[in-house]
Amino acid sequence: MKSPVHRCRDVERQAACLQTEQPCVPVSQHDPSSMWFIRDACGIVCGVITWMLVFYAEFVVLFVMLLPSKNLTYSLVNGTVFNTLAFLALASHFRAMCTDPGAVPTGNATKEYIESLQLKPGQVVYKCPKCCSIKPDRAHHCSVCKRCIRKMDHHCPWVNNCVGENNQKYFVLFTMYIALISLHSLVMVVFHFLYCFEDDWTKCSSFSPPATVILLILLCFEALLFLIFTSVMFGTQVHSICTDETGIEQLKKEERRWGKKTKWMNMKAVFGHPFSIFWFIPLTQPGKAHGKAESYQYVV
């Protein structure tokens, strides 16, 4: 069986073929106890900008709209809701950024290791010539992370990481909570503008009227932009999970070689089994789920 062009080249079980391969570097595998972090300048800048934009929204919501409000109940309810969503959004961003997305150990495509797999005649494994690793089925090489990532969907500079098998839950939660706080901010901005038009502008904010207008307009623009962007990303991620087809697989129109499961099983494979409130909390890891792929799959 011939492999597709994008799957690089096959490494067959016969020793004669293995002797022609270039020697690999020693096996490198990420330590689960250590923090995963990609040293990419563009990704780090985008990550810092993301946090700064959330903190700017926090500043405007609290000091321009809620604290000057005369309605204590309105301020407490909206302040609690907004700060809770903002905390969950930043926690999701941190987990998506600092969680190993499913990196394949590098340097394990050696003759000894392949022989230890005890493959049957006719079976092949895929080798990535860039990181010298045996690629599991549905894994792709990321040029930024410089690793092969299991079920890689795409590399997102806003989280400075790949979105893959192990951190897709956190990325989905990040886009969802950013969309929610953006929508909440837009609603509060509209109500605050109406309140200031009906009342005296000097009394509806602790800042001067020109400064208040500028701060609210900037927040409105930021919230509208990110509401559209994250809503689209959230929708595409949910669709990708339900169809069990990553963004790269859709883009390359790869032939489906894996079993088809129900949408609910696909959701449990990402968020954990069974369904619970922990699906929506980025501080917990997905439990053992149905539909998880094996570490390596071999194509006959």
Active-site option among 156, 162, 196, 204: 156
Residue 211 in contact with residue 184, Cβ under 8 Å?
no
**Tokens 């706080």 appear where?**
181
Q: 92-101: b or e for each residue (b if 16 or more CB lie within 10 Å)?
A: bbbbbbbbbb
Residue 205 amino acid letter: S
Are the C-beta atoms of 170 and 99 separated by less than 8 Å? yes
Q: Is 156 a catalytic residue?
A: yes
CA dihedral (89, 95, 101, 103) in degrees, to 10, reads: 160
Rg (CA), the chain: 24
Element (H, E) at 191: helix 168-198
For the annotated catalytic residues, the residue numbers are 156
